[in-house]
Structure 1
Amino acid sequence: MGTAVMLKTSRHVIEFISGMAFITLSRRMGLERSSQFFGNLFTKIGPRFPQNKIAVRNLTAAFPEADEAEIKSLNIEMWHNLGMFFGEFSNLDRLRAEADTRINISGWDLTQKTFDEGRGLIFFSGHMGNWEVMAAATQIFDKDVMGVYRKANNPFFEKWITKIRNKSTVTKLVQKGADGAKNIIKTLKAGNTVCVLNDQKMNDGAELKFFNRRAMTATAIPKIARKFNIPMVFVSVQRRANSHFDVVFHPPFLPETTEDAHQDILNTAQKMNDILEEAIRQQPAHWLWLHNRWK
């Protein structure tokens, strides 16, 4: 084993030990206390992280009409939401067990009607509020829903995160990539549903508009949706007080299907960006502004 590999492994082990201490504390506190504690903690330590510069830059560019005080307030509230998310993630099983009283679901009737047609569904959302809540809510339609995710950099955390999600949100998970696309297609062809978060840093795809700036946007999901004519549903998650959430299933829509396949895919991807942006603007501090989505 080379020195670089050993150093990387050692760093992963240290991160995991520190993370498990965090998780143990969070579990002992319980859902609401943990959410509140880490939310308050992150407002103090978050702005000290190097990534905070990215968040401030993104917020400033997205809201050019906001003054410095407003940007600072949004930034602090973003860290508060992220801290609450981490406190809640360690207690996802408890959140799921209390879903009837903690998660208010609306707009499901149109989605249920579309799902009953047996064509499959693609649910998409973004990293807002507590984004794990979306996957849990979709199971009211389909117990076999598949979640698409990005593999964690730390392999020790990857096992733990997968275990938590399997117990609390979705039992079927697939990583982004070529193999993942095959499983997505198989799931949709069977008439089941797929959940994706399509809003963070992209290194490939198409350069489309997002918050009035050009941003690399993933096109794999619009491409699959168009090829198999799969209905798409945007799911918004809004945080309320004390680890309660509003989950809204927006009206289903079909991808564009004209003779110009390439333009259809771009138009559908742009529509996804537009829908997501509109939802973020309703609670801008609750979206994750820490990624270099724009270049």
Structure 2
Amino acid sequence: ALYIAEMLHVQGWDTRTVLERIEIEGEEHFEEAEALGKGVIFVSAHMGSAEVVAAVAVLRGYKITAVTERLRPDFVMDWAIACRAAMGIRLLPVERAGISLLRSLRRKEMVAFVIDAGIERGSGVPTTFFGRETVFPDGPARLARLSGAPIVFAVAARLPGGRFRAHIEPPMCFDGSRSPEGDARCLTQLASAFERYVRRYPGQWYAFREMWPD
């Protein structure tokens, strides 16, 4: 319920509200990623407020295309698309996003994923998370390999008094690797960054799927 309420609430935020309510650590990393001239692959998680960290990117002037699992029933998907559009974000179902994402990056725009999303059959990369093997979506790593664009991982943690702290990590996964092994290394970096923030804010992670299936 909090996640849905926040999605609706953040739509009305202007630049002043963002500056008043959000502390940003590492904003310079967006600039470092932009300077590479390949677009930016933005990766977050169902942690703290994904809506708030997306608002930071939108108010920096990015055109954003985000990927989601197809939601059911259809009216829920339509509602999510409309909410994202109100924030200036184009939302695409994952099964038809590939070419659109590459085109967005070629226009030096931003594309967005959540690292702890559901996994389509055969589409994940095994990696270690909290000392146990799991599978993360391969979309961000594969797109970085195909496009040369850097990945920027970020989360926004909730603070007392209705405030937030956005943490933005340095660009990663733009070393020009063209192999599946490079995808695995990239996912290891992402998993490590994600794990650090779960340890720091353990009560703010919403695990919407089974992370360590038996």
Q: Matches of residues 242-281 of structure 1 in structure 2 within 5 Å?
A: 242-258=161-177, 261-281=179-199
Task: Please state whether the residue corresponding to 1:128 is helix, strand or coil.
Answer: coil
Matched, 1:200 2:125: no
- Unaligned 5+ residue runs, structure 2? none
Q: What code does the residue aligned with 1:127 have?
A: H
* Contact kept in structure 2, 1:124 and 1:195, CA below 8 Å: yes
For residue 234 of structure 1, what is the aligned residue in structure 2? 153
Matched, 1:122 2:122: no
For residue 288 of structure 1, what is the aligned residue in structure 2? 206
For residue 180 of structure 1, what is the aligned residue in structure 2? 97
Measure, in 2, the Cα distance between the counterparts of 1:95 and 1:113: 26
* Contact kept in structure 2, 1:124 and 1:233, CA below 8 Å: yes
Q: Please give the TM-score of this superposition, normalised by the length of structure 2.
A: 0.88
Structure with greater Cα Rg:
1
Task: Please state whether the residue corresponding to 1:87 is helix, strand or coil.
Answer: helix
Q: Please give the TM-score of this superposition, normalised by the length of structure 1.
A: 0.65
Structure whose residues are more often strand by fraction: 2
Distance 1:92 1:151, change over 3 A: farther
Distance 1:104 1:238, change over 3 A: same
Ranked by relative contact order (alpha carbons within 8 Å, sequence separation 6 or more), the top structure is 2
Measure, in 2, the Cα distance between the counterparts of 1:118 and 1:226: 15
* Contact kept in structure 2, 1:112 and 1:141, CA below 8 Å: no
Measure, in 1, the Cα distance between the counterparts of 2:204 and 2:61: 27
For residue 85 of structure 2, what is the aligned residue in structure 1? 166
**Which of 51, 55, 65 is matched with 1:132 structurally?**
51
Measure, in 2, the Cα distance between the counterparts of 1:152 and 1:105: 31
- Unaligned 5+ residue runs, structure 1? 1-82
Aligned length: 210
* RMSD of aligned residue pairs (Cα, Å): 2.0
* Contact kept in structure 1, 2:6 and 2:51, CA below 8 Å: no
